[in-house]
Chains A and B, each alone.
Chain A
Amino acid sequence: MSKRSNWSIPYVVFLVLFVVLPLVLVLVYAFQDNSGHFTLGNITKFFTDKDALSTFAVSLEVALENTLLCILIGYPAAWILSNKQYNKSAVTIVLFIMPMWINALMRTLATAQLFTMLGITLGKGTLLFGMVYDYLPFMIYPIYNVLSKMDKSYAEAAVDLGATPWKAFWKVTVPLSMPGVTSGILMVFMPTVSTFAISEFLTNNKIKLFGTIIQENINSSMWNYGAALALIMLVIIGITSLFSKDKEEMEGGLI
């Protein structure tokens, strides 16, 4: 039996080469100048670059607003879908996930075109709408998963013991569904911070997000500055993933 643990070796080698080494390279490039000497210049460049800083602030703001909207719209939807009284078939949840199989860029472009046709100017509002449109299923699905596995008798017991249904919902159902909300937040917030292309299409290039400046720098061969920006994003990811204490127990996950 013990020999079969060796079967993980090829994958470990693969992970070191294609996951660990690339991340180390991000760190190395971030602290190097063009000629390969150590420098803090890329990091200080970011903190003194007004455009980059304001893009960063806008990205965080959009990501926060998008996540909040997804919770506000997605939680009731997940609750209704998981409630046998309102929804008896599993097909409805599949209907929510199905658009995700269509190319995201194509869907986004169609959304932008639809706005233009309806005479709505592309800007912050359409950006948020498009983001919610793209990421809502990622919020609904994990919450739905947790809610439908949840033991309904807890909430019923609360009502039997004199709580109003409203109170039982807030004090019992919501706290018990928090793992689903947490993994929903992880699946919506981080991709939103890092998205590029989507924001360009939905605002006609008026609003840039952080992902776009990373892409622009890498594509114009400013690898070191691009790597520094990627490193800053990695720090944000680290902070966000602290929210979920134990990722192995992300039971609401999509998988």
Chain B
Amino acid sequence: MSKFFAKLYIWVLLVVLYAPLVFIAVFSFTESKVLGSWEGFSTHLYQNLLTGQMQGNASLLAAVKNTLLIALVAAAFSTLLGTIAAIGIHNLRGRKKKVVTFLNNIPMINPDIITGVSLFLLFVFLHFSQGYVSVILAHITFCTPYVVLSVLPKLQQMNPNIYEAALDLGATPSQALWKVLVPELKPGMISGFILAFTMSLDDFAVTFFTRGTIGLDTLSTYIYTDARKGGLTPELRPLMTLIFLIILILLVIINVRQDRMNKQNANR
């Protein structure tokens, strides 16, 4: 009996959690301007989205491109900077280590709006013109700490002698770096990259304050401006539905692979 109620509780929560997403998905198949009014089944919005033929809303596709571009560049730089930083932090001792770790925590504890406002003031103060570069720098700021925290555990698990052994056996420091250290840190770097990428994709507040006035839009700021103008671009509905499907498929693949790996390990 208690099992029934436990399951019921979880399912009720999940239904509530997914209701708005299902709502968007259902209404992506009708042409109405407003979300929530049904005007008959149609795949017109999907056609508009995929052919890019939207009445005066071509900037939606530009926003999607910007979002992906910024996330990719920011995640790549964060991974590079964060991995080098993690190696450095791992080799620091005592007080210095504490200070750097504390500094690394600040961007994670700060709410987005503080990060956004403070970076906005920085760019104003430095007379740095705001646009792509300022947004990417801001994203690197809040993404890198997550990379550092993903790579550090790998360094702690690693046998410190294998790097030295490579050097003793005649590897140059750069060979030892690329052939020994990087392969060891790779899983941490990958999960750091993925974390950074998703944090960047999802960001609204920091982008909002650092994008300047050149009309740079990411998906988040596009939706915000759109909603404030009243009425969302209808094509956002199929777009969100497609994004949701892609994530769903990716998660299924990851889970199936993990399941298979677990089973293989169990069989050994």
**Which residues of A are in contact with B by a Cβ distance under 8 Å?**
1-2, 4-12, 14-23, 25-26, 29, 73, 76-77, 80-81, 83, 85-87, 90-92, 94-96, 98-107, 109-111, 113-114, 116-117, 133, 136, 186, 190-191, 193-197, 201, 211, 214-215, 218, 223, 226-227, 230, 233-234, 237, 241, 247-248, 255
Interface residues as binary, B1-43 with A (CB distance below 8 Å gives 1, 0 otherwise): 0010011011001101111110110000000000110000000
Q: In the assembled complex, how far is the CB of residue B211 from the closest CB belonging to chain A, in whole angstroms?
A: 12
A233 near B14: Cβ-Cβ < 8 Å:
no
B113 near A214: Cβ-Cβ < 8 Å:
yes
* B150 at the A interface (CB under 8 A): yes
* B48 at the A interface (CB under 8 A): no
A5 contact from B36, B91, B115, Cβ within 8 A: B91
A102 near B122: Cβ-Cβ < 8 Å:
no
* B251 at the A interface (CB under 8 A): yes
Interface residues as binary, B100-133 with A (CB distance below 8 Å gives 1, 0 otherwise): 1101111101111111011111101100000000
Q: What chain B residues lie within 8 Å of A103 (beta carbons)?
A: 202, 219-220, 223, 240, 243
Across the A-B interface, give the 7 residue pairs with the lowest CB-CB distance, nearest first. A8-B88, A7-B88, A11-B85, A22-B118, A194-B111, A110-B20, A5-B91
Q: What chain A residues lie within 8 Å of B244 (beta carbons)?
A: 102
Using A103-B202, A103-B223, A105-B227 as known contacts, list a sample of 9 further A-B pairs with CB atoms less than 8 Å apart, ordered by residue number in A: A8-B92, A96-B14, A98-B251, A103-B220, A105-B220, A133-B20, A191-B112, A237-B109, A237-B111
A25-B121, A77-B10, A193-B111 given; A113·B103 CB < 8 A: no
Query: How many B residues touch A, CB cutoff 8 Å?
Result: 81
Q: In the assembled complex, how far is the CB of residue A85 from the closest CB belonging to chain B, in whole angstroms?
A: 7
Residue of B nearest to A217 (CB): B117
B103 near A230: Cβ-Cβ < 8 Å:
no
The CA-CA distance from A218 to B148 in the complex, in Å, is 31
B141 contact from A8, A18, A226, Cβ within 8 A: A18
Q: What chain B residues lie within 8 Å of A99 (beta carbons)?
A: 17-18, 21
A190-B111, A237-B111 given; A133·B17 CB < 8 A: yes
Q: What chain A residues lie within 8 Å of B82 (beta carbons)?
A: 11
Q: In the assembled complex, how far is the CB of residue A247 from the closest CB belonging to chain B, in whole angstroms?
A: 6
A22-B119, A201-B227 given; A241·B109 CB < 8 A: yes
The CA-CA distance from A224 to B91 in the complex, in Å, is 41
A8-B89, A218-B120 given; A94·B100 CB < 8 A: no
Q: What chain A residues lie within 8 Å of B87 (beta carbons)?
A: 4, 7-8
The CA-CA distance from A105 to B223 in the complex, in Å, is 7
Interface residues as binary, B127-155 with A (CB distance below 8 Å gives 1, 0 otherwise): 00000000001101100101011100000
B117 contact from A111, A186, A193, A227, Cβ within 8 A: A227
Q: What chain B residues lie within 8 Å of A107 (beta carbons)?
A: 20-21
Residue of B23, B101, B106, B117 most packed against chain A (CB within 10 A)? B117
Q: What chain A residues lie within 8 Å of B160 (beta carbons)?
A: 1
B224 near A197: Cβ-Cβ < 8 Å:
yes
B109 near A255: Cβ-Cβ < 8 Å:
no
The CA-CA distance from A23 to B118 in the complex, in Å, is 6
The CA-CA distance from A231 to B217 in the complex, in Å, is 28
The CA-CA distance from A16 to B103 in the complex, in Å, is 8
B36 near A113: Cβ-Cβ < 8 Å:
yes
The CA-CA distance from A193 to B100 in the complex, in Å, is 27
Residue of A nearest to B164 (CB): A1
What are 11 pairs between A and B in contact, CB < 8 Å?
A11-B104, A23-B118, A26-B114, A29-B121, A95-B14, A96-B14, A101-B247, A111-B20, A133-B17, A195-B113, A237-B114
B103 near A15: Cβ-Cβ < 8 Å:
yes
B113 near A4: Cβ-Cβ < 8 Å:
no
Residue of B nearest to A22 (CB): B118
Q: What chain A residues lie within 8 Å of B193 (beta carbons)?
A: none
The CA-CA distance from A94 to B122 in the complex, in Å, is 38
The CA-CA distance from A25 to B144 in the complex, in Å, is 21
Q: In the assembled complex, how far is the CB of residue B206 from the closest CB belonging to chain A, in whole angstroms?
A: 11
Q: What chain B residues lie within 8 Å of A73 (beta carbons)?
A: 13
B101 near A87: Cβ-Cβ < 8 Å:
no
Q: What chain A residues lie within 8 Å of B46 (beta carbons)?
A: none
B106 near A19: Cβ-Cβ < 8 Å:
yes
A105 near B224: Cβ-Cβ < 8 Å:
yes
Residue of A nearest to B35 (CB): A113
B224 near A106: Cβ-Cβ < 8 Å:
no
Q: What chain B residues lie within 8 Å of A87 (beta carbons)?
A: 6, 10
* B81 at the A interface (CB under 8 A): yes
A25 near B125: Cβ-Cβ < 8 Å:
yes
B88 near A11: Cβ-Cβ < 8 Å:
yes
A106 near B117: Cβ-Cβ < 8 Å:
no
